[in-house]
Amino acid sequence: MRDPSRAGEKYTHPYVTFFHLFFRGAAIVIYMFCGWFSDSFITSFVFVVLFLSADFWTVKNISGRLLVGLRWWNYVDDDGVSHWVFESKNSESYQSRINKHEQRIFWLGLILCPVFWGLFFLMALFGLKFKWLLLVMIAIALNAANLYGYIKCNYGAGKDLNSAATDFVKTQLFKNAMDIMTKPSTAQPPTNVRPTGIV
């Protein structure tokens, strides 16, 4: 039996691959042809943003992890400082199981869609369609965030998913231990002090 990741006619995650392209493609199609079905800007705006949001969540949390073994995420520590984490499953055993066709589709969809939204931005800007310009800027922000995150994961992470989670737990435990050690002790006042007789 051949490995599904090496078979040219078979996809390991067909549904994930489909929805990786469906949500972002649907957002572009609705933006281009929404005027054919409705004259309401609000209706078009809501539908495009819904598909953009579904695409952002799917790509960030599902397709990136399953199709290419990458993930990026953010957390806020106890001091209120935001930290960005870029993770990559770069072990040879895992990389050998990645379907090359799915990997190619993932990166093509991730790169080409921001290009389309960039063109729509120029068209809306020079056409003085400022209300559509806001929608395009939202699309560019969401697409660019995923693109930047996964490029950072692929070329600048070098950290395994499991080790990243372990390092985070270790860091939090060490920080809590240091806080306990450095916290000033609340010493009780001495109880055996004799009165001096001074009024």
For the chain, the C-alpha Rg in angstroms (whole number) is 26
Q: Judge if pTM exceeds 0.75.
A: no
Per the CB < 8 A criterion, the answer to whether 56 and 146 are in contact is yes
* CA distances for 36 relative to 30, 41, 44, 113, angstroms: 10, 12, 11, 22
pLDDT at residue 159 in the model: 47
pLDDT at residue 4 in the model: 46
**Triad 90, 59, 48: Cα angle to 5°:** 165
Residue 54 pLDDT grade (very low, low, confident, very high; cuts 50, 70, 90): very high
The answer to whether residue 85 scores a pLDDT higher than 70 is yes
Mean pLDDT confidence for 63-76: 87
Mean pLDDT confidence for 30-34: 90
Six-digit token pair at 148?
């930047």
Report pLDDT digits (tens) over 159-183. Answer: 444 444 445 554 555 555 555 555 5
The Cβ of residue 135 has, within 10 Å, a number of other Cβ atoms equal to 21
User: Three-state SS across 39-107?
Assistant: CCHHHHHHHHHHHHHHHHHHHHHHHHHHHCCEEEEEEECCCCCEEEEEEECCCHHHHCCCCHHHHHHHH
